[in-house]
Amino acid sequence: MRARRLTRLGLRMLMAWMIALLWGCASPGPVYRNSDGQVVDKPWSEVMAWLLQAWYQGLPPPPGRHLQGGQFPVIRDPEVGRDLPVDQLAVTWLGHASTLIRVGGQRILTDPQFSLRASPLSWAGTARSVPNPYALHELGHIDLVLISHNHYDHLDEASVLALSRQPGGSPQFIVPQGLETWFQSRGMGRVQSLGWWQSAEFGPLQVQAVPASHWSARGLSDHNKSHWAGWVLRAGERSVYFAGDTAYSDDFKAIRDRVGAVELALLPVGAYEPRTFMKDQHVNPDEAVKIHQDVGARLSIGIHWGTFELSDEPLDAPMATLPAARARAGLPDDAFQLLRHGETRLLPKEPMASD
Ligand code: ZN
Ligand code: ZN
């Protein structure tokens, strides 16, 4: 037990050292910023203090308090590979920020992460705690992939390469500004980048990039060299907002003002403790509820939880903290929900009348 904790501390220290290098060795040239003009920047001392304190306190505690049998249930939906009529909308949670959206007769993936680890190393780093509910081929032909930013828990090289080689041809990848070269240099040519508020048409779909408050880095010299974004997807009367990774900010009221209320919002609810360290990059459930209200979502589904242990709260914490946040805000239980891994939610056929 002690050896495991020491190993985990060692690996976290290694990651912290790499983060420190990222911030210390950023190459010259322009960097992308949040909408308030700020960049997220954590001093090395703060990263180390967090990791040491988490280790000393044995954080995060193992999940299980809110799970029957101590395990996350994994759903195998036999219909997940089936095409839906063009006027229907369904979302399947695949774990973490990966979802399958079926709308407009198209199949769209958000931040596909199907690998064992969310890490630059195949042999070390944060391993998934819950298996993938589906093999890639079970999800059917993917038409479009939306990437929020380049962190390893959102942009997984093996997953996007596998998608680019799917039978029937590569999906269209849509990425934030500056990230297209990463795809092109790996031979993935069906990629288009969009700056915040820009939009593009893909068959029956309209895709629009919207702001988020976060940061980016994968290597030693690319800190904030590519942008981060949320995405609003429209097909006819139906609309979906995928927030990616974000802190709370005024961006969400601006999104409502510029794109109107959305039908379905996929909002992060995990990896939020300790707040002193995480509040500049990840919302907690109370802030996710505020985003739900700001963007005028009819239904929100919590993502970015329950799969990769990235922070100090237990992996199953949102099962208790999201309902509490929802109740504090006076939201009905069915307005903002969590799905089980692999579970599909089919939205009622009539899109909501947006106000
Ligand atoms: Zn991130
Ligand atoms: Zn993330």
For the stretch 305-334, pLDDT in tens is 999 999 999 999 999 999 999 999 999 999
Q: How far is CA 167 from the centre of its chain?
A: 26
Q: State how far the Cα of 286 lies from the Cα of 272, in Å rounded to an integer.
A: 11
- As residues whose CB is below 5 A from the ion ligand 2, the structure lists 153, 245
Instruction: Name the average pLDDT for the chain.
Output: 92
- Decide which of 59, 84, 104 is a domain's last residue: 59
Amino acid letter, residue 25: C
Which pLDDT band, with edges at 50, 70 and 90, does 186 fall under? very high
Distance 118 CA to ligand 2 centre (A): 9
Q: What is the reported pLDDT for 177?
A: 98
Can you tell me the mean pLDDT for 182-199?
A: 98
Distance 96 CA to ligand 2 centre (A): 8
Q: Are residues 195 and 53 in the same domain?
A: no
Q: What is the reported pLDDT for 42?
A: 77
Between these two residues, 176 and 57, which has the higher pLDDT value? 176
Distance 214 CA to ligand 1 centre (A): 7
Domains identified in the chain, total number = 2
Which single residue is written with the structure tokens 């001392």? 45
- Domain of 343: which CATH number? 3.60.15.10
Q: Is residue 231 part of a domain?
A: yes
Answer yes or no: is pLDDT of 355 > 50: no
Q: Are residues 169 and 203 in the same domain?
A: yes
- Decide which of 34, 59, 84 is a domain's last residue: 59
Q: Are residues 20 and 111 in the same domain?
A: no
Contact criterion met (CB below 8 Å) for 93 and 340: yes
Q: What is the reported pLDDT for 40?
A: 87
Q: Are residues 98 and 216 in the same domain?
A: yes
User: Which residue, among 34, 91, 65, 46, has the nearest Cα to 238 in the 3D structure?
Assistant: 91
Q: Are residues 198 and 329 in the same domain?
A: yes
Distance 42 CA to ligand 2 centre (A): 16
Q: What is the reported pLDDT for 48?
A: 85
Q: Is residue 257 part of a domain?
A: yes
Q: Are residues 251 and 297 in the same domain?
A: yes
Tell me which residue range forms the domain holding 325: 68-347
Answer yes or no: is pLDDT of 354 > 70: no
Nearest ligand to the CA of 270 is 2
Rg (CA), the chain: 19
Can you tell me the mean pLDDT for 16-23?
A: 56
Q: Is residue 104 part of a domain?
A: yes
Task: List pLDDT tens digits, range 204-244.
Answer: 999 999 999 999 999 878 999 999 999 999 999 999 999 99
Q: Are residues 48 and 126 in the same domain?
A: no
Q: Is residue 127 part of a domain?
A: yes
Q: Is residue 36 part of a domain?
A: no
Q: Are residues 163 and 54 in the same domain?
A: no
Distance 277 CA to ligand 2 centre (A): 14
Q: Is residue 37 part of a domain?
A: no
Q: What strand order describes the sheet that includes 238-242?
A: 199-202, 205-210, 230-235, 238-242, 264-268, 299-303, 336-337
Distance 160 CA to ligand 1 centre (A): 17
Q: Are residues 46 and 76 in the same domain?
A: no
Distance 65 CA to ligand 2 centre (A): 23
Q: Are residues 305 and 227 in the same domain?
A: yes
Can you tell me the mean pLDDT for 120-145?
A: 93
Q: Is residue 34 part of a domain?
A: no
Q: Are residues 232 and 99 in the same domain?
A: yes
Q: Are residues 87 and 201 in the same domain?
A: yes
Which pLDDT band, with edges at 50, 70 and 90, does 274 fall under? very high
Q: Is residue 31 part of a domain?
A: no
